[in-house]
Structure 1
Amino acid sequence: MLSEKLLVSESKRRAHIFNNLDKYLRIIVDTVKMLDKDAEVYLFGSVADGRYLLSSDIDILLVTEMPPGKVIAELWKSGITDPFEIHVITKNAYELYRRRAKLIRLTSSPQETQHS
């Protein structure tokens, strides 16, 4: 009975995040840009491809020279946890991701979002 309640609660939480994804993506971009104004933020994976389920994770690629632990800790403080999967890389590793995945560049204002 308790496990069923936990599953229902988790399903509702994930549905809320997916239904309000723009809000959460804005929090991610704003938090990262506060730490590093030159950082780049991308959405990739099943959500970027439009083939996700509520059980999917939401893959976020951060291109920055900042230490990954610092960036992830700040995102956690901002409420960004599961189902977000944060990948922090340097500019040197960016090309590998660009060649292998559809990347959607995220900006603070939705009209500036770019597909690569």
Structure 2
Amino acid sequence: MEVAREVKGILKTIDPQVKVYVFGSVVRGKFTAASDIDILAVTEAIEKKKEMIVEVYKKMKAPVELHVTSPNKFETWYMKFINANEIVEV
């Protein structure tokens, strides 16, 4: 979760209102050396998506898979495929 907190810190400099979640193998307890860390950023400032992605990948050394989406797409798309007990807000 330390990596997720670092990502959140980076994203908050771009959008102070961003919500950050971790999902996938880390939350399920199945993280391995070959795994990446799935992080989902939910933002109203979707026009800053590319900036968010670039900044995170520039600054992070850990294997992060960053998804950036709007609140609407989070509810109507992502939550169809992510079990509620397999996503944690950072």
TM-score of the pair, normalised by structure 1: 0.64
Gaps of 5+ in 1: 1-20, 107-116
Secondary structure of the 1:55 match is: coil
Deviations 1:81-104 (A, max 9, x none): 551100011111111323422210
CA distance in 2, matches of 1:92, 1:41: 15
Q: Does 1:84 align with 2:64?
A: yes
- Give the Å deviation of 1:32: 0.7
List aligned pairs for 1:1-116, cutoff 5 A: 21-22=1-2, 24-64=3-43, 65-66=45-46, 67-78=48-59, 80=60, 83-95=63-75, 96-101=77-82, 102-106=86-90
- Give the Å deviation of 1:53: 1.2
CA distance in 2, matches of 1:26, 1:69: 20
4+ aligned runs moved over 3 Å, structure 1: none
Amino acid in the other structure paired with 1:43: V
RMSD (Å) for aligned C-alpha atoms: 1.6
CA distance in 2, matches of 1:58, 1:98: 18
Q: Per the alignment, do residues 81 and 90 of structure 1 end up closer, same or farther by CA in structure 2, a change over 3 Å counting?
A: farther
Q: Which has the larger radius of gyration?
A: 1
Secondary structure of the 2:11 match is: helix
CA distance in 2, matches of 1:81, 1:88: 19
CA distance in 1, matches of 2:22, 2:33: 16
Larger RCO (CA within 8 A; separation ≥ 6): 2
- Identity between Structure 1 and Structure 2 (%): 33
State which drifts further: 50-59 or 94-103. 94-103
TM-score of the pair, normalised by structure 2: 0.81
Aligned length, in residue pairs: 84
